[in-house]
Amino acid sequence: MPGLVVVIGRNGVGKTNLLEAIHVGSQGFSPRTRAEARLVRFGQDAARVSLSGEDRNVAVSTQVTIAARDKRVLVNGAAARGPDELRGRLATLVFLPDRLAVVKGGPLVRRAYIDRMLGRVFPAQARLPSEYSRSLAQRNEALRHVRAGTSTLEAVEPWTARVAALGTELDAVRAELVASLTPGVEAAGEVLGLAKLALAYEPRPLTESQLSERLERDVERGLTGVGPHLRDVGIAAAGRELRSFGSQGEQRVAVLALVLAEAGLSSESRGEPPLLLLDDVLSELDGQRRHALLDVLPAGGQTVITTTSTDALPAGTRNAALVVAVTPGKARAA
């Protein structure tokens, strides 16, 4: 399995930091924090990640430098327009234990996760969630001005039309994404021991009349009370809603299945699998499921898995894996 890289080391030595650095170098941001100043070592002015490799058989190198108030991204030595250009060039997906919030957290977490994925799977629609959010914020601001007596209902009308149009479009694209993910999620769940894993999201067109009917209540609250910003994505196994009735192991498998399903979609659209970064993914899988996971990793791609010991790997795969040993501040081939 030449595409498998196993990162080993004791707890707390920096295995997750290594995955984070790879993600920063390939996507331009950390999967763990949006406070980028935290990526800079204490006492230093900046942090830098440099990567080199191949993407679809073409050599590529990146360099991401993060300073207190600045970020610089280079692709093949040339300045990129920003992280968006980097993400458009390279595909990287990550599983972290704290991503269990996608299942066990509230609707806001699932909406945000699906909307970020939407931009990766449907690049042409990448700006739709933010465009809807901006229009919604403008409508809410207009509602609050009406409530305060400093504006009139006429000022709300243009934003009502905009929110209705964008909300309907966003809801439809989310539903399309969920429908595209569902076969891969179900298949991955089955292989990993979580039968009948399913996603649910039914599109609900948002009309101007719906918004107008509740205008008085929206003015009183200063908030828009209907639309895709209040929707949820259902995640269930055999009819059990996993947020409330799933074990931590089942929730973990569900998040992993989402990552694998997205990897499948990315492979189809790009013609090459994404880079997969899987942190501590083996710890709650038994031997059979560990074998199953390695069997369903995208063929021809590269996957980096962290673990405390190669003993966690199924016996038949140990000799085929590139092993990187991590000690505090160092990573080397073992």
Which tens digit of pLDDT belongs to each residue from 285-312? Answer: 888 889 899 888 988 889 999 999 888 8
Which 8-state DSSP code applies to residue 47?
A: E
Q: Which residue pairs, CB below 8 angstroms and at least 24 apart, start in 142-147?
A: 143/218, 143/219, 143/221, 143/222, 143/223, 143/224, 144/222, 146/219, 147/219, 147/220, 147/222
Per-residue model confidence (pLDDT) at position 322: 85
Predicted structure pTM score = 0.92
How does pLDDT run across 231-242, given as a tens digit for each residue?
Answer: 999 999 999 999
Per-residue model confidence (pLDDT) at position 310: 82
What average pLDDT does the segment 7-29 reach? 95
**Is the distance from CB of 242 to CB of 103 less than 8 angstroms?**
yes
* Helix/strand/coil for 70: strand
* Mean pLDDT lowest among 66-80, 162-176, 251-265, 318-332: 318-332
- Dihedral angle at the C-alpha atoms of 130, 262, 90, 53, nearest 10 degrees? 160
